[in-house]
Amino acid sequence: MSDTKLAANEYIKADSNLLRGTIEEGLQNNITGALYVDDTQLSKFHGFYQQDDRDLRAERQAQKLEPLHSFMLRARVPGGVCTPQQWLDVDKIASELTMSQSIRLTTRQTFQYHGILKRNLKPLIQALDTSSLDSIAACGDVNRNVMCNPNPVESELHQQAYEWSVALSEKLLPRTNAYAEIWLDGEKVTSNETEPMYGETYLPRKFKIAVAVPPHNDVDVYTNCLGFIAVSDNGKLIGFNVTVGGGMGATHGDKTTFPRLADDLGFIALEDTIEIAKAVITTQRDWGNRTDRKYARLKYTVQKHGIEAFRAEVAKRSGVDIQPPKQVEFTTRGDRFGWVKGTDGKWHLTLYIECGRIKDVPGKEIQTGFREIAKVHKGDFRMTSNQNMIVANVAEEDKAQIEALARQYGILGERLTPLRKHSIACVSLPTCALGMAEAERYFPEFTDKIDALLEKHGVGDQPIVMRMTGCPNGCARPYAAEIGLVGKGPGRYNLYLGAAFDGTRISKMVLENGNEEEILADLDGRIARFANERTDGEYFGDFLVRTQEVKAVLTSAGDFHD
Ligand code: SRM
Ligand code: SF4
């Protein structure tokens, strides 16, 4: 490559021999717990990040020790579905091969391990493989885990949508043999290996796809690079409304960066799904910004060229007849807790997991509970994009046993408030290298305080989508929340309000760098007015916009910072 202006990662990818780099050599170097620096970028394509425990960083620095390096690994589980045996394997791996010993359900329907020592990476990936699981392309500049609404009620429609999410995930995988060679002792490919769709420098940046089945928008389809919204006729899937150019990440104080909801590309017939996805991906491959990773996501490509030009290019590349979008309506974004019955007569139990952390804590043996359920469960498990878990496809006669186990281990969640049911937070400290403020460790306590405010004003029964992240990258999609908190520094957050309950409008900042007291004071006044002045059935975000407390973000990006 001759263009010196390209982002550093572009050279790392180009020189990596299709993602191999020197990862194998780095694994064998026992002097350090880390990988070689460039390989820490390549490792993401294999599903893992190098991290260090930030709680211990200063102490180790004072002792002149290298940071306590360990790795976070994210699995690829399209649509979040796994079998009970797989769950038992996942659980065993956490206990035997990670320092955290816990499992972390993510906001994209999969799970992560934290605290994997370098020497345990290979045994861990091999153990996942034995369980027919992998972490290929779970991170990195490629298409990542494909989300699919776990909508168990409309069973047949969901099954069809789920199958498309699996097909998308499989068809869009990188073709390099690097993962098999490094981790699974696969035979080394020696000649002419190519990466037909991605090319040797892959995409300019990460790429995300979600499949949504209206009226449920729990996958937050408009926040994805590429969205497929199921269009059905009499319960049968007939095609998708395709959306492009959504994304959350931004940088504090930099108005050239912004969260953005996706634009409508149009309706496509079912058989065109993979072709459209490939055309969107190759357009982004060729049009995306490779000089500055800050502007390299698809949302900036669509914003720069405009949706018309982008649509024309995708139509040209795919040869697909892209029609105007069909009418669809979303009404919910949360999970449906407790038991629901599918149209096929099977039962599904959605269980709340605070911030997605599967770990035994006093009063709630979450990890043990799921292990015991997995031992007897004959259906499957479904991780949700709200970091919760569905014990799915339970026969009528097995319901009582599953429920008894959930109750015994304190995970039935019978007394959850509507706010809590609609709340998620990202990981942040101590593992996330980018966290500026606490999220997962502070969010439960913060949620209690907002619940108390709602209770005080008599609106404790109001469902409100509330999300917190430790930095502006937006891993819990906070700009799409009715109450969004984005970490600015220790104990300090920007407060964002005014997003739509169904995920079709993003929010605006109303308070910068506030501490807990300031945030609670701000919300106290607004919740009081909401309690007194809301119209029948009005949501909090809509109320703030109607009463002009918060100006609506109308265009996809332009007015987010106004
Ligand atoms: Fe994320 C980076 C965790 C969903 C936007 N994200 C990270 C890293 C890997 C930090 C890093 O780069 O060093 C975090 C690891 C923390 C840890 O210790 O585990 C991290 N992201 C997560 C998870 C685990 C949060 C969670 O609590 O569940 C989610 C894993 C999803 C998955 O299974 O694949 C997660 N991240 C998201 C989402 C939500 C989504 O995709 O629906 C977003 C916003 C949507 C988007 O992509 O625009 C998101 N993560 C980011 C960004 C900002 C990207 C950008 O465009 O600017 C970064 C930083 C980056 O890429 O440079 C990031
Ligand atoms: Fe880390 Fe920021 Fe993502 Fe939270 S939002 S997990 S702090 S990168």
Position 191 scores a pLDDT of: 76
Gap from CA of 122 to ligand 1 centroid (Å): 23
Catalytic-residue membership of 441: no
Residues 481 and 506 in one domain: yes
Cα end-to-end distance, the chain, whole Å: 40
Average pLDDT score over residue span 347-361: 97
Contacts of 88 (CB under 8 A, 6+ apart): 371, 374, 375
Is 12 inside any structural domain? no
Residues 530 and 449 in one domain: yes
Flag whether pLDDT at 217 surpasses 80. yes
Is 65 inside any structural domain? no
Position 92 scores a pLDDT of: 98
Give the ligand at the shortest distance from the Cα of 206. Answer: 1
Query: Where is average pLDDT lowest: 43-47, 144-148, 232-236?
Result: 232-236
Position 556 scores a pLDDT of: 61
Flag whether pLDDT at 2 surpasses 60. no
Flag whether pLDDT at 74 surpasses 70. yes
Flag whether pLDDT at 171 surpasses 90. yes
Share of the chain above pLDDT 70, in %: 99
Confidence band for 235, pLDDT divided at 50, 70 and 90:
confident
The total of structural domains in the chain comes to 3
The CA distance from 440 to 425, in Å, is 6
pLDDT per residue as tens digits for the range 193-216: 999 999 999 999 999 999 999 999
Give the ligand at the shortest distance from the Cα of 104. Answer: 1
Residue 534: CB atoms within 10 A of its CB come to: 17
- Supply the pTM of this predicted model: 0.98
pLDDT per residue as tens digits for the range 138-168: 999 999 999 999 877 888 899 999 999 999 9
Flag whether pLDDT at 432 surpasses 80. yes
Flag whether pLDDT at 429 surpasses 70. yes
CATH assignment at residue 432: 3.30.413.10
Residue 73: CB atoms within 10 A of its CB come to: 25
Residues 238 and 267 in one domain: yes
Residues 152 and 289 in one domain: yes
Catalytic-residue membership of 225: no
Residue 413 Cβ inside 6 Å of ligand 1? The answer reads no
Flag whether pLDDT at 388 surpasses 60. yes
Contacts of 322 (CB under 8 A, 6+ apart): 242, 265, 266, 267, 268, 276, 311, 314, 315
Share of the chain above pLDDT 90, in %: 92
Is 503 inside any structural domain? yes
Is 261 inside any structural domain? yes
3-state secondary structure 230-270: EEEECCEEEEEEEEECCECCCCCCCCCCCCECCEEEEEEEH
Is residue 141 a contact partner of residue 281, using CB atoms and an 8 Å limit?
no
- The residue to mutate among 469, 485, 486, 496, having the most atoms of ligand 2 within 8 angstroms of its beta carbon, is 469
Strand pairing partners for 134?
76
Is 398 inside any structural domain? yes
Residues 522 and 395 in one domain: no
What the block records as the tokens of 540 is: 């909090």
Q: Where in the sequence is the domain holding 481, given as residue range(s)?
A: 419-559
What are the backbone angles phi and psi of residue 75, rounded to the nearest 5°? -90, 160
Residue 325: CB atoms within 10 A of its CB come to: 17
Domain boundary among 414, 442, 476: 414
Average pLDDT score over residue span 299-309: 97
Gap from CA of 206 to ligand 1 centroid (Å): 10
The atom of ligand 2 lying closest to the CA of 439 is 4
Residue 144 Cβ inside 6 Å of ligand 1? The answer reads yes
Position 152 scores a pLDDT of: 78
Residues 341 and 466 in one domain: no
Average pLDDT score over residue span 418-444: 98
Residue owning the nearest CA to atom 36 of ligand 1: 475
Position 190 scores a pLDDT of: 73
Catalytic-residue membership of 471: yes
Domain boundary among 375, 392, 414: 414
Position 154 scores a pLDDT of: 81
**Per the residue annotation, which of 285, 475, 477, 526 is the catalytic one?**
475
Gap from CA of 1 to ligand 1 centroid (Å): 29
Is 140 inside any structural domain? no
Residue 49 Cβ inside 6 Å of ligand 1? The answer reads yes
Mean pLDDT over the full length of the chain: 96
Residues 498 and 399 in one domain: no
pLDDT per residue as tens digits for the range 91-123: 999 999 999 999 999 999 999 999 999 999 999
Give the ligand at the shortest distance from the Cα of 428. Answer: 2
Is 126 inside any structural domain? yes
The atom of ligand 1 lying closest to the CA of 385 is 42
Q: Where are the alpha helices (DSSP H) in 147-288?
A: 155-171, 178-183, 273-287
Residue 473 Cβ inside 6 Å of ligand 1? The answer reads yes
The CA distance from 334 to 480, in Å, is 13
Residue owning the nearest CA to atom 20 of ligand 1: 475
Gap from CA of 127 to ligand 1 centroid (Å): 25
Helix axes 307-318, 273-287, angle to 10 degrees: 120
Catalytic-residue membership of 208: yes
The CA distance from 501 to 217, in Å, is 10
Is 36 inside any structural domain? no
pLDDT per residue as tens digits for the range 3-33: 558 999 999 999 999 999 999 999 999 999 9
Flag whether pLDDT at 420 surpasses 60. yes
Residues 157 and 249 in one domain: yes
Domain boundary among 313, 333, 353: 333
